[in-house]
Amino acid sequence: MTPRTAENGRPAIKALPEPPDLPPPLPEPAVADIRLETVLAALSDPLRLRIVRKLLLESEKFDHTCGWFGLDRPKSSLTHHFKALREAGITRQRQYGLERRSHVRIADLDARFPGLLDLVADWTPPER
Amino acid sequence: MTPRTAENGRPAIKALPEPPDLPPPLPEPAVADIRLETVLAALSDPLRLRIVRKLLLESEKFDHTCGWFGLDRPKSSLTHHFKALREAGITRQRQYGLERRSHVRIADLDARFPGLLDLVADWTPPER
DNA sequence: TGCTATGTTCGACTCAAGTCGTACTGAGTG
DNA sequence: CACTCAGTACGACTTGAGTCGAACATAGCA
């Protein structure tokens, strides 16, 4: 594992290479249009913080469906939160048949807001 | 000016030494109790982002009154926002006679969320 | 004593966000 | 074709945040 920050010993957060031919991403802001206010607002919700953190720390394959997260909420709520993350520029979503899979736009966010994703990865959810 | 981060050339953001005898701070969370969700929510408002950024970049004396910011809002709105910043653990406020002066808890925030204040300092307000 | 200046407190209003149920869509499968 | 499964779309509800005006509090000063 290549560490994300050389100083600490935390596991790496690494952008996975994108396979060549993929379904096009759902509508999302361009890198230059990602706004700090919007990103912070999107990340101020504990559920979305959990989603992004889990994507950062536990991603195995290229991207993951809503169901992979094991969130105990109705589907309509999940749609809401995943849409918020995508429209803020935090995640990218692609349609694979029926499934809509998400991953974090690591390179884009690192370029725009260096260090931000480390804070998310280090976050600990509030107990109970 | 000692740079906050050695790599870039941005002006320093430095915690100023606290004079020995000061009025006690208004109620605020302890360092360990500062929550990322809360901080991000507090910073997701453009006006508060402006306040913190201005404190980081233009602070000259130890701390500043509400009026120093030159914000064109009624006083009750300012009270609301400064309280939100203080209760999130971002700023510290002290009462000097009639005035309530604020400064950013730089050391505390750096310890808890390294890099976060750099993002605020680098932020550019939306035009118009 | 009164005036001014700084800022709080309260309550009202508006609006956005989170929450969810229900109905729908569209791909895969038998 | 009928069925299931992943997820969207829509609308309703509730809550909390931002907005502000008006009234109040208090330190300093003339």
pLDDT in tens, B10-46: 445 555 444 546 667 778 999 999 999 999 999 999 9
Q: Is residue B58 part of a domain?
A: yes
A80 CA: nearest nucleotide by C1': C18
Phi, psi values for residue B25, rounded to 5°: -65, 150
Q: Is B46 touching A (CB cutoff 8 A)?
A: yes
Q: Does the residue A86 lie in any domain?
A: yes
Note the helical H segments in B19-96: 36-43, 46-58, 75-88
Please tell me if residue B111 touches chain A, with a CB cutoff of 8 Å. Answer: no
Is the shortest CB-to-strand distance from A35 to strand C under 7 Å? Answer: no
In a domain? residue A35: yes
Residue numbers in B near A114 (CB within 8 A): 115, 118-119
Per-residue pLDDT, averaged over A39-48, amounts to: 97
Residue-wise over B71-81: b if at least 16 C-beta within 10 A, else e? Answer: beeeeeebeeb
The answer to whether position A4 is within a domain reads no
How far is it, in rounded angstroms, from Cα A43 to Cα A11? Answer: 21
A79 beta carbon to strand D: under 7 Å:
yes
How far apart, in Å, are the Cα atoms of B23 and each of B92, B96, B101, B105?
12, 7, 10, 16
Q: What average pLDDT does this structure show over B82-106? A: 91
The torsion angles phi and psi of A93, rounded to 5 degrees, stand at -120, 135
Subunit contact A116:B118, Cβ cutoff 8 A: no
Contact B126, B49 (CB under 8 A): no
Contacts of B54 (CB under 8 A, 6+ apart): B69
Q: What are phi and psi of A101, to 5 degrees?
A: -105, 145
pLDDT at A82 over 80: yes
Q: How confident is the model at residue A26 (pLDDT cuts 50, 70, 90)?
A: confident
Domain annotation covers residue B41: yes
What is the CATH number for A105? 1.10.10.10
| Mean pLDDT (whole number) for A33-50 | 97
Where does the pLDDT of residue B9 fall: very low under 50, low under 70, confident under 90, or very high at 90 and above?
very low
Pick A49's closest partner by Cβ from B37, B45, B113: B37
How far is B101 from chain A, CA to nearest CA, in Å? 25
- Only one residue has tokens 């809002």, namely B73
- Does B1 have pLDDT greater than 70? no
Q: Would residue B47 count as lying in a domain?
A: yes
**Is the CB atom of residue B76 positioned under 7 angstroms from any atom of strand D?**
yes
Does some domain include residue A97? Answer: yes
Q: Please tell me the distance from the alpha carbon of residue A53 to that of residue A34, in angstroms, as a whole number.
A: 19
Per-residue DSSP letter, B62: S
Q: Are A38 and A117 in contact (CB under 8 A)?
A: no
User: Residue A90: CB partners within 8 Å, gap ≥ 6?
Assistant: A39, A42, A43, A52, A104, A105, A109
> How many domains is chain B partitioned into structurally?
1
Residue tagged 């109790």 (tokens):
B33
B75 found inside a domain: yes
* Cβ proximity of A10 and A1 under 8 Å: no
Domain boundaries, position A96: 31-122
